[in-house]
Amino acid sequence: MNTVKIHDKVFSKTIPNEEICNEIKKLADRINHDYAGKRPLLLGVLNGCFMFVSELMKNLDIECEISFIKLSSYQGTATTGVVREVLGLSESIAGRDVIILEDIVDTGLTMQRLLETLGTRNPASMEIASLFLKPARLKVPVDVKYSVFTIPDRFIVGFGLDYDGLGRNLPDVYDVVE
Ligand code: IMP
């Protein structure tokens, strides 16, 4: 299946599942190394992060914990720039080494807001790991320490990412066909 139609748009396959999983394994190796002897708290940003989190966790062999937060800032294929916290974090992150797990950093506004919010709760450290990063779209400077794929300014779906609610279940990643 090299093309899929979702709502009004056609998408074509660009990154096969095997390549995504191989690259996530490399990220896990870096985190295993960087956080050896620590017990990081991984913080997944729902909804898009779920496949990324699952694949990453399977490849981590250090002690680690996972929790989830839900924010929303996006409708359709154009960011609204409005970030709304939907589900908060119940446990304390004070003194913890936090790794935020995001599906994609686009304008960076979501991550900027999340870093500001979490920063007031006194974590020992806080880093961002994003499956995808679109550097050409960044509107604010956000330091993404771990990014798996750097991609051009194109809208993608699959491996957890959606287009208006659909496409998250696709195991591969697809680019919109203009
Ligand atoms: P930002 O605040 O502009 O960085 O937006 C980040 C959020 O926008 C991500 O968590 C996604 O939900 C959504 N997003 C940005 N680009 C894409 C894309 O290409 N496909 C699907 N969702 C996207």
Count of the separate structural domains present in the chain: 1
| pLDDT tier at 86, thresholds 50, 70, 90 | very low
From the candidates 106, 162, 172, 175, give the one annotated as an active-site residue: 106
The 10s digit of each residue's pLDDT in 109-160 is: 889 989 988 998 999 999 999 999 999 999 999 999 999 999 999 999 999 9
Query: Can you give the pTM of this predicted structure?
Result: 0.93
> Which pLDDT does position 117 carry in this prediction?
86
Residue 140's pLDDT is what?
A: 95
Choosing from 106, 112, 131 the residue with most ligand 1 atoms within 8 A of its CB, the one to mutate for a pocket test is 106
CATH number, domain containing residue 167: 3.40.50.2020
Q: Quick one: residue 28, left, alpha or beta (phi over 0 = left, psi -120 to 50 = alpha)? A: alpha
Nearest CA to ligand 1 atom 17: 155
Helix 17-34 with 50-58: angle, nearest 10 deg: 60
> Among this protein's residues, is 172 annotated catalytic?
no
What's the domain range around 25?
3-176
Q: What is the per-residue pLDDT across 35-51, written as a single tens digit (0 to 9) for each?
A: 999 999 999 999 999 99
CA-closest residue to ligand 1 atom 15: 106
Q: What is the average per-residue pLDDT within 158-176?
A: 98
Please give the Cα distance from 5 to 167 (Å, whole number): 9
